[in-house]
Structure 1
């Protein structure tokens, strides 16, 4: 037999690439042969293929292999083409199953939020939101979740563009009140809408980060106040943050 292990040529190359990328120190050829359990000729052929495609690089001085720069280019193109809705679909469904309440996925659109996906609660509930509909940033959970993690100059630009219309008795209607709330969001990683946009409606939201740790979206769970005890709301906070972290990791965000 040609190899000590079975599998296609692609499997062997990917296995070799995995060893190069996950090793805490650069590996020499002999070390890669041992780790991959491939004959030297096969290991050499697989490494040459990876080198040709820029997926690994070889340092002549250290006689060791490193991850190739083409991996970064591939990652960038992959992240650029990802549809956040596809990435978020399974965590959204899991959050919906656990809470049985309405789940929203939203992104920023200038000075507004726009809802790009929604899972309706199986229980009776009528909400302002709808897929494709815009909403205010300053009094929605998803809006504040993203706004809190914008760079300071961009955050101030967005705050200056807010209307601060009073939707309910609980709406934050001044920039300073909003900034105080955003500081709390930064500390906890959770944004709350305590009947700020619609009376009788509570929401817990969390930001979704990309590989550059930019808050590019937010996910929320929304429920009527009469169904939301203090304990239920605490559970919602934990669950929505877990869902957001899961989506962020899928997008390559750092812990």
Structure 2
């Protein structure tokens, strides 16, 4: 019995995806013959499929060079896809991991102008009463999650966010002016760890880190929050490492470039 011709096997979708993948992953643009060779498709099938991909803007053909490039339509598809992703779903398992590891309160927050909005929360397994609640707003300048996100805004966004800060002195450690905040943000940007050392609530401290998207923009932050009396320095350092790693994993899922 003769074996089926591999060049004609597979669905039309498989063939289109195979060609699209080769065009996108190539280090240099490819010619038609090179794509045929790499995908092992019949020339007629490859030509017809490339024409369809080109018509939909997913592949771009340069007539002058006879080379195939990724199409601009891919950017639009990526934008539409990312806009529909809910960071709560993407971060859920890492929130649970942090909660399991620490037994403390875990927050997920987003930045809204000068405020943070808590969009998810896992309550401590131990008795702890906090300001935060899902849907509640809080100041950015004196919270771990707020500073974590502000540190990664571009200058125009940061200046606008700083203008929204009240700089009310909640405790003895609250940052009370723009200069103090900017100094703190520089350190946070370098370490990707943001600390709230009783700056918003007396006796409460947290370790936070930022979640970045595919454009390396801050879209959310996670924090581990606990009362100071039950967290020694070694444990607090462990919290910082945990939350930084958790946010790195979520950021990569959101398309951010992996970094330390």
Match of 1:82 in 2: 85
Residue 20 (structure 2) aligns with: 17
Shift of 1:183: 1.8
Determine helix, strand or coil for the equivalent of 1:98: helix
- 99-108 or 83-92: which moved more? 83-92
Indicate conservation of the 8 Å contact 2:193/2:208, yes or no. Answer: yes
TM-score (norm 2): 0.88
Corresponding residue number in structure 2 for 1:8: 11
- The alignment partner of 2:69 has SS state of strand
Match among 205, 220, 233 for residue 236 of structure 2: 233
Could you tell me whether the CA contact under 8 Å between 1:96 and 1:102 is conserved in 2? yes
Output aligned runs, 1:167-246, within 5 Å: 167-246=170-249
Work out the CA distance in 2 between the residues paired with 1:209 and 1:18.
25
**Aligned Cα root-mean-square deviation (Å):** 2.1
Query: What is the match of residue 142 of structure 2?
Result: 139
- Per the alignment, residue 109 of structure 2 pairs with 106
Counterpart of 2:6 in 1: which secondary structure? coil
Q: What's the counterpart of residue 29 of structure 2?
A: 26
Cα distance between partner residues in 2 of 1:153 and 1:98: 38
Aligned to 2:59: 56
Q: CA deviation at 1:254?
A: 3.2
TM-score scaled by length of structure 1: 0.89
Q: 1:23 to 1:99 in 2, by over 3 A?
A: farther
2:118 to 112, 115, 118: 115
The alpha-carbon distance between structure 1 residues 52 and 159, as it changes in their structure 2 partners (threshold 3 A), is closer
**How far off its partner does 1:48 sit?**
2.4
- Paired with 2:132 and 2:8, the residues of 1 have a C-alpha distance of 55
Q: CA deviation at 1:200?
A: 2.4
Q: 2:151 aligns with which of 144, 148, 160?
A: 148
Which deviates more, 79-88 or 201-210?
Answer: 79-88
Distance in 1 separating the partners of 2:113 and 2:66: 51
Structure 1 residue 105, shift from structure 2 partner: 1.2
Q: Which runs of 5+ in 1 are unaligned?
A: none
Which residue does 2:130 correspond to in 1?
127
Taking a change above 3 Å as real, the CA distance of residues 5 and 127 of structure 1, as seen in their structure-2 partners, is farther
Higher mean alpha-carbon deviation, 168-177 vs 199-208, is at 168-177
Spell out, residue by residue over 1:232-251, the C-alpha distance to the aligned partner (whole angstroms, 9 max, x if none): 22222222122222222222
Give unmatched runs, 5+ long, in structure 2: none
**How much does 1:2 deviate?**
4.8
